[in-house]
């Protein structure tokens, strides 16, 4: 059973985002002075006295606004209500009752779930009486809160937890694969996310910057829980600080850090750009299993083999490359399947026996390099960490490893164990002493950088 959902409903600017931040203790939601910034639906984990639930922040409900986007948000609110166990109607106690409040209240009464009213912007004890008038909404007494000051939020959370249905036993089990959809603006991230969800959870719109906000959404793929970590675009760092895009970009980078798998979406009709490559590289470096998605395949004339070759040439850490079309739905299911497979691969531990067989095979296949008559010997290989996999190889002398040979070994390792797209750290450890610090740096692997020696110490054995 998924976690119960608590829908946050209300007009724009009553303080819903600020309240969600307060209640989840997170900075996930972008709060900005512009009205209507929080347009997409977000689901955020919340925890109160050990009870976990999801707070669903909807866009503002504005029945009077016939603009397309407002209508889309209104529909989203209804969907959120349909799935919610409890709803919180947020009203602005400073502004007082407004005509639309009654309409929303009537709509909420029809939802047949417990409804709480949070009278927000009650910034001090003196303002508490301002909450009283909202009893007229017919939803019981309003709970006075100040999202900005953090006043009354504990009482609100108590009321939420009291209104939730009884706890489900496996609510706490969370083995969800965390998936981030990242990439430049307009490559089709939102469209792809929509395809994944099979419903209009993310608003796709031709307006610029619709996907400004972070979205954590849960879904199920082949019976397994998946969390879509973020759909905001990775923007260039050169954006002016203080703008919404700037915050959204910072959060996108964090999204890759929080994810197990990242889909780096590109526009196949434009080809793979250097910015796409930069994002793919960043994603792999943060430890995400990475798939470069050549989206818009329906209009793309990029040759996938060319694109692969270009990526292999430019990106040290090999991502997987797949094509898809969010528009037609082609290969979209495969992206999800492949994401799960990569997540499993990154979490898998390869048996030492198999790795060592690989090590002897590879030395037979291509003799390790030699300098002035001294040939590199590789004695032992083992995996000492997962997610991402970290592999240590004990060698005679780190100074003898060449970049070429390290690449060769890494690529063969990927092929043999199906690790394409999985970030991999290969750590070469010198036997006995590791005096030769001035040796040629081996690829990007932080070779010998302070991890505990995973080998039985030959000196002591």
Which residue number, 15 or 319, has a Cβ lying nearer to ligand GDP?
15
How far is the CA of 450 from the CAs of 74, 94, 256, 284, in angstroms?
54, 57, 25, 21
Strands (DSSP E) contained in 231-347 are 261-267, 289-295, 320-323
How far is the C-alpha of 358 from the C-alpha of 103, rounded, in Å?
Answer: 69
Which residue number, 231 or 383, has a Cβ lying nearer to ligand GDP?
231
Which residue number, 148 or 163, has a Cβ lying nearer to ligand GDP?
148
Site for ligand GDP in 120-179 (CB under 6 A): 120-121, 123, 146-148
Which residue number, 244 or 347, has a Cβ lying nearer to ligand GDP?
244
Bridge partners (DSSP) listed for residue 370 = 375
- C-beta atoms surrounding 189 within 10 Å: 29
Distance of CA 406 to the CA centre of its chain: 31
Site for ligand GDP in 202-241 (CB under 6 A): 204, 206, 211, 233
Report the Cα–Cα distance between both ends of the chain, in Å, rounded: 51
Give the residue, chosen from 296, 318, 320, 390, that forms a contact with ligand GDP under the rule CB under 6 A.
296
Q: Please identify which residue in the block is written with the tokens 């009205």.
A: 35
187 binds ligand GDP (CB under 6 A): yes
Piece of the chain touching ligand GDP by CB under 6 A; list 9-17, 109-117, 386-394, 426-434: 9-17
Piece of the chain touching ligand GDP by CB under 6 A; list 243-251, 320-328, 376-384, 414-422: 320-328
Q: Please identify which residue in the block is written with the tokens 């496996």.
A: 170
Give the residue, chosen from 24, 190, 286, 302, that forms a contact with ligand GDP under the rule CB under 6 A.
190
Which residue number, 25 or 458, has a Cβ lying nearer to ligand GDP?
25
Closest-CA residue to 260 (of 175, 184, 151): 175
Output the smallest distance, CB 201 to ligand GDP, in A. 13
Site string for ligand GDP, 326-345 (x = CB under 6 A): xx------------------
Q: Please identify which residue in the block is written with the tokens 């959120």.
A: 80
Closest-CA residue to 104 (of 85, 90, 118): 90
Which residue number, 216 or 427, has a Cβ lying nearer to ligand GDP?
216
Give the residue, chosen from 4, 17, 108, 389, that forms a contact with ligand GDP under the rule CB under 6 A.
17
- C-beta atoms surrounding 44 within 10 Å: 22
Which residue number, 79 or 434, has a Cβ lying nearer to ligand GDP?
79
41 binds ligand GDP (CB under 6 A): no
Strands (DSSP E) contained in 268-377 are 289-295, 320-323, 370-371, 374-375
Closest-CA residue to 447 (of 418, 425, 423): 425
Output the smallest distance, CB 124 to ligand GDP, in A. 10
Output the smallest distance, CB 90 to ligand GDP, in A. 6
Per DSSP, the residues of 401-439 read --HHHHHHHHHHHHHHHT-TTS--EEEEEESS----TTS
Coil/strand/helix, residue 51: strand
How far is the CA of 266 from the CAs of 181, 225, 358, 445, in angstroms?
11, 26, 35, 27
Coil/strand/helix, residue 451: coil
251 binds ligand GDP (CB under 6 A): no
Which residue number, 76 or 146, has a Cβ lying nearer to ligand GDP?
146
Which residue number, 156 or 289, has a Cβ lying nearer to ligand GDP?
156
Give the residue, chosen from 15, 319, 430, 454, that forms a contact with ligand GDP under the rule CB under 6 A.
15
Which residue number, 35 or 351, has a Cβ lying nearer to ligand GDP?
35
Output the smallest distance, CB 123 to ligand GDP, in A. 5
8-state DSSP, 79: H
Give the residue, chosen from 60, 152, 388, 423, that forms a contact with ligand GDP under the rule CB under 6 A.
60
Q: Retrieve residue 98's tokens.
A: 């407004």
Q: Which residues bind ligand GDP (CB under 6 A)?
A: 10, 12-18, 31, 33, 38, 60, 120-121, 123, 146-148, 185-191, 204, 206, 211, 233, 295-296, 298-299, 325-327
């Amino acid at each position: 059973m998924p976690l119960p959902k608590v829908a946050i409903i209300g007009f724009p600017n009553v303080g819903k985002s600020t309240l969600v931040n307060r209640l989840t203790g997170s900075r996930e939601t972008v709060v900005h002075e512009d009205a209507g910034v929080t347009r997409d639906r977000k689901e955020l984990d919340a925890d109160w006295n050990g009870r976990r639930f999801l707070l669903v922040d909807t866009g503002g409900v504005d029945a009077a606004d016939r603009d397309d986007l407002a209508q889309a948000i209104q529909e989203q609110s209804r969907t959120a209500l349909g799935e919610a166990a409890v709803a919180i109607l947020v009203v602005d106690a400073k502004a007082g009752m407004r005509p639309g409040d009654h309409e929303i209240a009537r709509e909420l009464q029809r939802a047949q779930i417990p409804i709480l009213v949070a009278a927000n912007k009650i910034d001090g004890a003196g303002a508490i009486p301002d909450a009283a008038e909202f009893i007229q909404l017919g939803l019981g007494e309003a709970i006075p809160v100040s999202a900005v000051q953090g006043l009354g939020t504990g009482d609100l959370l108590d009321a939420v937890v009291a209104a939730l249905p009884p706890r489900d036993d496996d609510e706490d089990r969370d083995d969800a694969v965390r998936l981030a959809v990242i990439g430049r603006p307009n490559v089709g991230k939102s469209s792809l996310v929509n395809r994944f969800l099979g419903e209009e959870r993310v608003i796709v719109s031709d307006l610029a910057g619709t996907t400004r906000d972070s979205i954590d959404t849960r879904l199920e793929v082949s019976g397994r829980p998946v969390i879509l970590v973020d759909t905001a675009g990775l923007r260039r760092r050169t954006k002016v600080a203080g703008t919404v895009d700037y915050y959204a970009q910072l959060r996108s980078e964090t999204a890759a850090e929080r994810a197990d798998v990242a889909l780096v979406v590109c526009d196949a009709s434009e080809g793979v750009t250097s910015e796409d490559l930069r994002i793919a590289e960043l994603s792999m470096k943060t430890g995400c299993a990475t798939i470069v998605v050549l989206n818009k395949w329906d209009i793309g004339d990029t040759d996938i083999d060319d694109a692969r070759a270009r990526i292999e040439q430019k990106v040290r850490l090999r991502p997987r490359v797949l094509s898809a079309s969010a528009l037609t739905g082609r290969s979209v299911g495969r992206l999800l399947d492949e994401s799960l497979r990569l997540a499993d691969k990154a979490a898998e531990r390869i048996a030492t026996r198999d790795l060592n067989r690989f090590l002897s095979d590879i030395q037979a296949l291509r003799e390790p390099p030699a300098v002035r008559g001294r040939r590199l010997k590789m004695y032992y290989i083992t995996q000492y960490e997962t997610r991402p996999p970290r592999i240590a190889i004990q060698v005679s002398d780190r100074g003898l490893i060449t970049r070429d040979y390290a690449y060769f070994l890494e690529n063969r390792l990927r092929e043999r164990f199906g690790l394409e797209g999985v970030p991999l750290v290969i750590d070469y450890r010198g036997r006995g002493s590791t005096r030769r610090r001035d040796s040629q740096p081996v690829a990007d692997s932080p070779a010998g950088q302070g991890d505990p020696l995973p080998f039985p110490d030959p000196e002591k054995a």
